[in-house]
């Protein structure tokens, strides 16, 4: 059975890959926030992680057509 690839026209393949990358970056940012001592950098990393989680949620809404805009 063939797995979908980069050239796939199915958006679900691409949204799944992007969500994985966003989640990986979110985890990295949160780990880095615990490694640095600068409160401004910690806030920046945590804020960035929150924004990326919002994007993940938007991708999930697209996949499930949970919002009227995606129907």
**Which tokens in the block code for residue 27?**
């985890």
CA angle 37, 51, 15 (to 5 degrees): 130
Distance separating alpha carbons of residues 35 and 42, to the nearest angstrom: 9
Query: What digits encode the pLDDT tens for the residues 15-31?
Result: 999 999 999 999 999 99
Per-residue pLDDT, 52: 98
Q: What is the pTM of this model?
A: 0.81
pLDDT > 90: percent of the chain = 69
Positions in the chain whose pLDDT score sits under 50: 1
Of 69, 29, 60, whose CA–CA distance to 47 is shortest? 29
């Amino acid at each position: 059975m063939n797995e979908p690839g980069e050239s796939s026209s199915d958006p679900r393949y691409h949204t799944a890959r992007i969500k994985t990358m966003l989640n990986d970056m979110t985890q990295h940012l949160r780990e880095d926030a615990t490694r640095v001592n600068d409160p401004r950098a910690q806030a920046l990393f945590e804020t960035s992680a929150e924004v990326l989680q919002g994007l993940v949620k938007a991708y999930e809404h697209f996949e499930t057509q949970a919002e009227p805009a995606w129907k």
